[in-house]
Structure 1
């Protein structure tokens, strides 16, 4: 009997002891327990992944809603700004037209005042010239007759 035979016998005895102590059942139970644990972890990971996908879809929906709302707000703000620009333009044009009209009225009034002043100066000058001319050429007798004729003409105009 050689050593190989005794090694084989030792191996068979060792395997018998392992089977008697129920090591294969313990190994199977440990492997089953480990497979159950891995299965549970996979199920949890699947649930977490589904929840993450739902959250992602919800956040994408909220983001799209926020973008639509922001676009609406931007559009409304642009419309309001355009309306305000138009109102400001109209008010500015009205203000300019009122100021132009006032300036034109002031110019017309200044022209009328200047014309009246020139007329008054011309009348004063003509009266002084006539006074000087009449004073130098007319004596008391002629001035009395001129006064009477002017007075009669004035009375006729009053009637």
Structure 2
């Protein structure tokens, strides 16, 4: 029918001959009879009745229950997946909190270690200063003792040299001032004093 209308619009009939404008107007106003099922039902009613029968058969066979149970199973599966996701999220949150606590504790431990190391370093420096002061004092004492010993040795050496010089000088004086007669008189005087 679409071909007929298209050919009529172009001015051609079935045989390809030209059709006049009046014939075209007559062809477009013409109504065709709609087909009827068994002579009394139009196609819309047949399709509607078929759909109603199909839906009734599906309802009678329990298809809505099957669809409902399938949807219920899918809903239950989705709910279980959601519950599992919630559990995983709670577990992840617990792990995150645990690691956050560990990080906080590690920072506290690091701070405590740093403070301990600082105190230890200060103690080591203080001990080193005390040891250095003690060593310096000990070395000063040793140096003073050495200086005192050197002074004592120098004084002793000076005394020995002075004594030796005095003895030599006395020997020279005695030898110059005393003769054999003077010695005899001294010996006699010493014997008389006894």
**Shorter-chain TM-score range:** 0.7 to 0.9
TM-score by length of 1: 0.76
Q: Flag the structure with larger Rg.
A: 2
Structure with greater helix percent: 1
Q: Do residues 35 (structure 1) and 75 (structure 2) align?
A: yes
Unaligned stretches of 5+ in structure 1? none
Q: Structure 1: which 4+ aligned runs deviate by more than 6 Å? A: none
Q: 1:28-61 deviations in whole A, cap 9, x for unaligned?
A: 2211210121012112211221232123223322
Q: Distance in 2 between matches of 1:48 and 1:136?
A: 127
Q: Do residues 5 (structure 1) and 38 (structure 2) align?
A: no
Q: Do residues 45 (structure 1) and 92 (structure 2) align?
A: no
RMSD of Structure 2 on Structure 1 (CA): 2.9
TM-score by length of 2: 0.64
Displacement after TM superposition at 1:23 (Å): 2.4
The equivalent residue for 1:19 is 59
The equivalent residue for 2:121 is 81
Kindly tell me the number of residue pairs found equivalent between the two proteins.
Answer: 152
- Listed as ranges, the matches of 1:55-94 within 5 Å are 55-94=95-134
Unaligned stretches of 5+ in structure 2? 1-34
Structure with the bigger RCO (C-alpha within 8 Å, sep 6+) is: 2
Aligned CA distance change for structure 1 residues 148 and 128 (closer, same or farther; 3 Å): farther
